[in-house]
Structure 1
Amino acid sequence: MELLEWKKSYDTGIEEIDNQHRQLLEFLNELGKETASRDNRKTAEILEGLSEYTVSHFAFEEALMEEAGYPYSGPHKHVHKTLIQRVTAFKEKLAAGEAISEELHSFLRRWLINHIQRDDKAYVASVSAHFKLEDEAPAEEKEENHGWIARMTRKFFG
């Protein structure tokens, strides 16, 4: 299966979010590598790691949107919730012995790229404005805002 490579078009401009998205892409590449082996046990391990990381990423992203006062955080959270429900359904199929690797990989690949490029990029202006992440922000504001992001990163990712 073709591995996904990070493209500049996936960048949101928020370094921590982009780093998390890169990690999600790596999980997808692991899943893609396992698709050929059809090892449900290994698929389950990767899916569990992907699920746990995704839940943390979503919580981080939602906290970021709420802190920034993003007006569409509710619908964005709903999109996250829907994905979690879909992944849970895939887990149930896998637990029942179904071979889901190819379908799961294809679905998650499309979902992640579309979500980053459409849904996530939609909140960037609000978040950037709130945190003044632009280059012209005074150094003390950057430190304060990056401090919040760093604290939240530690909270969700250890």
Structure 2
Amino acid sequence: MLSTQQLLDDFAAYTLGDKAMDDTHQAFLQLCLTTVQADGPEFVKHFQALFEHTHQHFAEEEARMLTSVYPAYAEHRADHQRILGDMNRFCQRLSLGRTAMAKAWLKESLPAWFDVHAKTMDSALAAHLKNH
């Protein structure tokens, strides 16, 4: 199982050569790590901050896709929407004091998703942006 700490330790493997994307990805991973290490009310607070950051992160990427007429916009956006939907559902559970599933998802599923998303979809987007 890939951890957020491993992603940060090997961040060079996820560097895409687009400063805005690279900086945002590093901030995202740092927020993931801070959140997964927190407990109780601190976990809830950090998870909500991560959700807000991720929403902004995806909105900025999607705006760049639209501006540059990125051909894989719909597929890339759909992947973003799936993650935002998951995070939104976890935020609802957190508001009821239920943290276990959100913490497990953040620890086990989100790093694996980021690994694939960054190496495929974001890598293709960065290449496209370099040419436009």
TM-score where L is the length of structure 2:
0.86
By how many angstroms is 1:118 displaced?
Answer: 1.4
Change (3 A) 1:83 1:125: same
- Is 1:30 the counterpart of 2:31? The answer is no
Q: Percent identity?
A: 24
Question: How far apart, in 2, do the equivalents of 1:96 and 1:74 lie?
Answer: 33
Q: In structure 2, how many angstroms separate the alpha carbons of the residues matched to 1:55 and 1:105?
A: 19
Runs of 4+ in 1 over 4 A off after TM superposition: none
Aligned residues: 126
The residue correspondences of 1:11-90 to structure 2 (distance < 5 A) are 11-34=15-38, 38-39=39-40, 41-90=41-90
Deviation at 1:2, TM superposition (A): 6.9
Secondary structure of 2:37 counterpart: helix
- Whether contact under 8 Å (2:36, 2:106) holds in the other structure is no
SS at match of 2:118: helix
Structure 2 CA distance for partners of 1:85 and 1:2, relative to 1, 3 Å:
closer
| 1:96 equivalent in structure 2 | 96
Q: Which residue of 2 aligns with 1:142?
A: none
1:73-152, aligned counterparts within 5 Å?
A: 73-100=73-100, 101-130=103-132
Give me the CA root mean square deviation: 1.7
Q: Which amino acid aligns with 1:50?
A: L
Structure 1 unaligned spans of 5+: 131-158
The structure whose RCO (Cα within 8 Å, separation 6+) is larger is 2
Aligned-pair distance for 1:70?
0.9
Pair 1:2–1:10, CA change in 2 (3 A)? closer
* Deviation of the 1:26 alpha carbon: 0.4
CA shift, 1:66, in A, is 1.4
2:98 alignment partner, SS class:
coil
